Amino acid sequence: MLPAASLPAVAATMRRYLDQLAYVLRPGSVGGADLALRSLAAFLAEQPDVHSVADIGRRHVEDYIRWLAARPGRKGACITPAAIASPADLEPAQTLAFRPYSESLARATASSTSATG
């Protein structure tokens, strides 16, 4: 995962999420989710306004997709514009891991907002 010193709250949340996934997914799937979250963590470490998962907004997700597109793939080429238009065509492990993570985040944020509001 990302160095705990960089974003300790984000790293702790991601570790807890991976622990939960381990109860329902096969080890290989959890490993794929771990790699995808490492990629997200590397991106988030470059964002000065992100200190916890609650700080992640739509702009960060959109910027993350562009950040992924700019990175070379396994064969050296960057992700195509068509893949950017359809995020499901990005590296499957990254979207499969990020989608439930972002949905869980949205539910947690909504419940904490309704509890305080």
CA-to-CA separations, 72 to 24, 68, 76, 80, 111, in angstroms, rounded: 32, 8, 5, 11, 38
Render pLDDT for 60-79 as a digit per residue (tens, 0 to 9).
998 998 898 888 776 666 66
Per the CB < 8 A criterion, the answer to whether 57 and 21 are in contact is no
Residue 101 falls inside a structural domain: yes
pLDDT for residue 70: 85
Domain span at 104: 8-112
For residue 107, being part of any structural domain is answered with yes
| 1 part of a folded domain | no
In three-state secondary structure terms, 78 is: strand
Contact between residue 69 and residue 83 where contact means Cβ atoms under 8 Å apart: yes
Mean pLDDT, rounded, for 27-50: 92
Identify any residues that bridge with 58 across adjacent strands, giving them in sequence order. none
Q: How many domains does the chain have?
A: 1
Predicted TM-score (pTM) of the model is: 0.65
Whether 12 maps to a domain, the answer reads yes
Residue 27 lies in a domain: yes
Is 52 within the bounds of a domain?
yes
Average pLDDT value over all residues in the chain: 76
Judged against a pLDDT cut of 70, whether residue 20 lies above it is answered with yes
In a domain, 2, yes or no: no
pLDDT above 70: residue 113: no
Let me know if residue 25 belongs to a domain.
Answer: yes
